[in-house]
Amino acid sequence: MAGIGAPRVLVDGKLVGPAEVGVEQGRITGVTEGPGRPDTLRLPHGVLTPGLIDVQLNGAFGHDFVAADATAWREVAARLPSTGVTAFCPTFITGDLDTLTAALVRAAELRAKLAAEPIARDLGVHLEGPFLSPARVGTHPPEYLREPTPELVDRLLLDDAVREALTLVTLAPELPGALEAIRRIVAAGIRVSAGHTDATAAEMSAAADAGATMVTHLFNAQRGLGHREPGVVGAALSDPRLTPGLIADLHHVVGPVCSLVLRVAGERTALVTDAMAAAGMPPGRYRLGDVDVTLVEGDVPRNPDGTIAGSALTLDLAVRNLIGLGNPPARVLTSATRVPADALGRTDLGRIAPGATADLVWWSNDWTVLRTWIGGVVAYEAPTL
């Protein structure tokens, strides 16, 4: 395939077009405005964008990543392109450390095993816990919470297989030893996000000084915005070093507030799903790590005491939700593509630019995913095409 032409193409945060995206050996060779060469695949309508990237995905399609075997893991990765997702961070919530480290070793093995297949790219595990605040535990099992002592951090960093599995760690920066833990984790090449935290704005600034670069699911399980104490939310919205993750299912964060975040921190906001096994599934009972979760029609997944437990969101629906609220499509799409890629330091993903991987999505004019390519190979095609 020499290239793909579309009426509109997302390039450098703007929708341009008509334009042709050159593709050769799984990489993008360039972008040319105009109708394209005769051998170009011409999309008759809609928008061509980079593939979506979800840095917080606990599971989907009936499977939880902590417990998933190779077949289940591959099924999730193979079905994600139907939602426009071409790369993701499998996410593990707080649990027994022995169980988590074993799951991390298995995750590293599966990542290597599945890397060559035309399925959504596994970018490495996002470990959400166990170094979280008891005051902001959310649905995480409180009995497994731990302070980030040097000994426990060693368990993540000194075992080669465990360290190789990790891409991102969420922790509460106000915990004893957390700032040193952040420095050590970042020095090992792993990103750190502040989450499930009661930190003040000053403590968040100290975390950013230590190397933290993200905020996990903005507004949820964290100190909110105050007019005298900006808290975690104030820091996330105002500190240019931080990338806030936003769950745009309109339940975790209501529509007007989602739009406000995009206006205030739009160029730094990363859309995430925080989806769990219920995503893409009918109402029923599912697992999130060690937690039993129930999904009821029209609601979000909840644990037995009613606390929100992840989401059933897909990233393409998050895009439709935010565009439907009147937000500029280019800004919304950039928050689901380039911003999360940049947050992980992956400049080869999330953009239509020379040298980037040819992970692409063709959207209809009403923002439905019609076709998804991974490395220039079709990974999903809508049945109606």
Q: Which residues are catalytic?
A: 274
Q: Is 140 annotated as a binding residue?
A: no
CA distance 39 to 45: 18
CA distance 48 to 20: 10
> Which of 289, 288, 280, 338 shows the shortest CA–CA distance to 314?
280
Q: How many residues does the chain have?
A: 385
Name residues whose C-beta falls within 8 Å of residue 54's C-beta, 6 or more positions apart in sequence.
80, 85, 87, 88, 89, 271, 272, 273, 275, 315, 340
CA distance 143 to 285: 22
With 0-12 CB in 10 A as exposed, 13-18 as middle and 19+ as buried, what is 29? Answer: middle
Neighbours of 290 (CB within 10 A): 17
Q: Is 228 annotated as a binding residue?
A: yes
Q: Is 308 annotated as a binding residue?
A: yes
Q: Is 252 annotated as a binding residue?
A: yes
Gyration radius from the chain CA atoms: 20
Q: Is the peptide bond before 244 cis (omega within 30 degrees of 0)?
A: no
CA distance 341 to 285: 32
Q: Is the peptide bond before 328 cis (omega within 30 degrees of 0)?
A: no
CA distance 125 to 235: 25
CA distance 371 to 260: 31
Q: Is 196 annotated as a binding residue?
A: yes
Name residues whose C-beta falls within 8 Å of residue 313's C-beta, 6 or more positions apart in sequence.
247, 248, 249, 273, 274, 275, 279
With 0-12 CB in 10 A as exposed, 13-18 as middle and 19+ as buried, what is 381? Answer: middle
Q: Is 139 annotated as a binding residue?
A: yes
- 3-state helix, strand, coil split of the chain in percent (to 5) is 30, 30, 45
Positions at the binding site for substrate: 139, 220-221, 228, 252, 308-310
Positions at the binding site for Zn(2+): 128, 196, 217
Positions at the binding site: 128, 139, 196, 217, 220-221, 228, 252, 308-310
